[in-house]
Structure 1
Amino acid sequence: MTLTLSGISKSFDDFTAVHPLDLTIPEGSFFALLGASGCGKTTTLRMIAGLEEPSAGRILLGDDDITRLPPHKRPVNTVFQNYALFPHLDIAENVAFGLRRRGIKNVRAQVAEMLDLVQLGDLARRRPRQLSGGQQQRVALARALINRPRVLLLDEPLGALDLKLRRQMQLELKRIQTEVGITFVHVTHDQEEAMTMADSVAVMYQGRVEQLGPPADLYENPRSTFVANFLGTSNLVEAKVLAGQDTAGTASAGLRVEVPGADGALRVPPDRCSAGDTEPGAMVLVGIRPEKIALVSAEEAATVPDGHNRLTGRIKDAGYLGVSWQYQVETPAGAELTVYAQNLERDSRLTAGAPVVLHWRPAHTFALDAAQDAAAGEETL
Structure 2
Amino acid sequence: MLELKNIKKSYNGNVILDDISLDVEDGEIVSILGPSGSGKTTLLNLILGITDIDSGRLIYHGEDLTDVPMEQRGFNIVFQDYALFPNLNAYQNIIYGLKNKPGISTKEEVDELIDLLGLREHLDKGIAQLSGGQKQRVAIARTMVMKPKILLLDEPLSALDGVIKESIKDRIKTIAKEFHLTTIIVTHDPEEALTLSDRVLIINQGKISQYAKPEEIISRPDNSFIREFILNQLEIKRNNIFSLFHCQTA
Q: TM-score, normalised by structure 1?
A: 0.59
Instruction: Give the corresponding residue for 2:111.
Output: 112
- Percent identical pairs in the alignment equals 36
Q: Which residue of structure 1 aligns with residue 203 of structure 2?
A: 204
User: What is residue 182 of structure 2 aligned with on the other side?
Assistant: 183
By relative contact order (CA 8 Å, sep 6+), the higher-ranking structure is: 2
Shift of 1:18: 0.3
Shift of 1:122: 2.5
Which one has the bigger strand percentage?
1
Aligned residue in 1 for 2:153: 154
Match of 1:61 in 2: 60
Change (3 A) 1:33 1:105: closer
Runs of 4 or more, structure 1, over 3 Å off, are 103-108
CA–CA distance in structure 2, aligned partners of residues 57 and 119 of structure 1: 41
Structure 1, residues 150-193: CA drift from partner, whole Å, max 9, x if none?
Answer: 10001111111234422332222212222221000000000000
- Kindly state the Cα deviation for residue 229 of structure 1 after the two structures are TM-superposed: 1.1
- List per-residue Cα deviations over 1:297-332 (Å, max 9, x = no partner): xxxxxxxxxxxxxxxxxxxxxxxx8xx8xxxxxxxx
1:174 is paired with a residue whose SS is helix
Q: Secondary structure at the match of 2:159?
A: coil
* Partners of 2:19 and 2:85 in 1: CA distance: 38
Alignment of 1:233-244 (within 5 A): 233=232
Partner of 1:74: 73
Give unpaired runs (5+ residues) of structure 2: 244-250
The one-character-per-residue Cα deviations of 1:167-225 (angstroms, maximum 9, x if unpaired) are: 33222221222222100000000000001110000110000110110011101111100
Hey, what's the Cα distance between the residues in 2 that align with 1:28 and 1:105?
20
SS across alignment from 1:39: coil
- Matched with 1:195 is 194
Give the drift of 1:104.
Answer: 4.3
CA contact (8 A) 2:104 2:145 kept: no
Distance 1:105 1:24, change over 3 A: closer
Note the alpha carbon deviations across 1:206-253, whole angstroms, 9 max, x for none: 00110110011101111100011111229xxxxxxxxxxxxxxxxxxx
State the aligned residue count.
237
Q: Does 1:26 align with 2:25?
A: yes
Q: TM-score, normalised by structure 2?
A: 0.89
Q: Give the structure 2 partner of residue 9 of structure 1.
A: 8
- In structure 1, the partner of 2:82 is 83
1:69-115 alpha-carbon deviations (Å, 9 max, x no partner) = 11111110001110011111121111111111225498533321221
Structure 1 residues 106, 198: CA separation in 2 closer, same or farther (over 3 Å shift)? Answer: closer
Counterparts in 2 of 1:54 and 1:216: CA distance versus 1, 3 Å: same
Q: 1:106 to 1:70 in 2, by over 3 A?
A: closer
Q: Aligned partners of 1:21, 1:105: CA distance in 2, in Å?
A: 34
Q: Which range is displaced more, 171-180 or 224-233?
A: 171-180
Aligned counterparts of 1:31 and 1:81: Cα–Cα separation in 2: 17
Q: Secondary structure at the residue paired with 1:59?
A: strand
C-alpha separation between the residues in 2 aligned to 1:72 and 1:105?
A: 15
Contact 1:203 1:212 in 2 (8 A): yes
What is the match of residue 37 of structure 1? 36
Distance 1:105 1:207, change over 3 A: closer
Task: Name the aligned partner's letter for residue 153 of structure 1.
Answer: L
Q: Which amino acid aligns with 2:77?
A: T
Give yes or no for contact 1:96–1:107 (8 Å, CA) kept in 2: no
Higher helix share: 2
Contact 1:29 1:184 in 2 (8 A): yes
Partner of 1:46: 45
Name the CA shift for 1:93/1:55 in 2 (closer, same or farther; >3 Å).
same
Question: Any idea what SS the aligned residue of 2:99 has?
Answer: helix
In structure 2, give the amino acid aligned to 1:95: I
Q: Secondary structure at the match of 2:231?
A: coil
SS, match of residue 24 in structure 1: strand
Q: 1:118 to 1:227 in 2, by over 3 A?
A: same
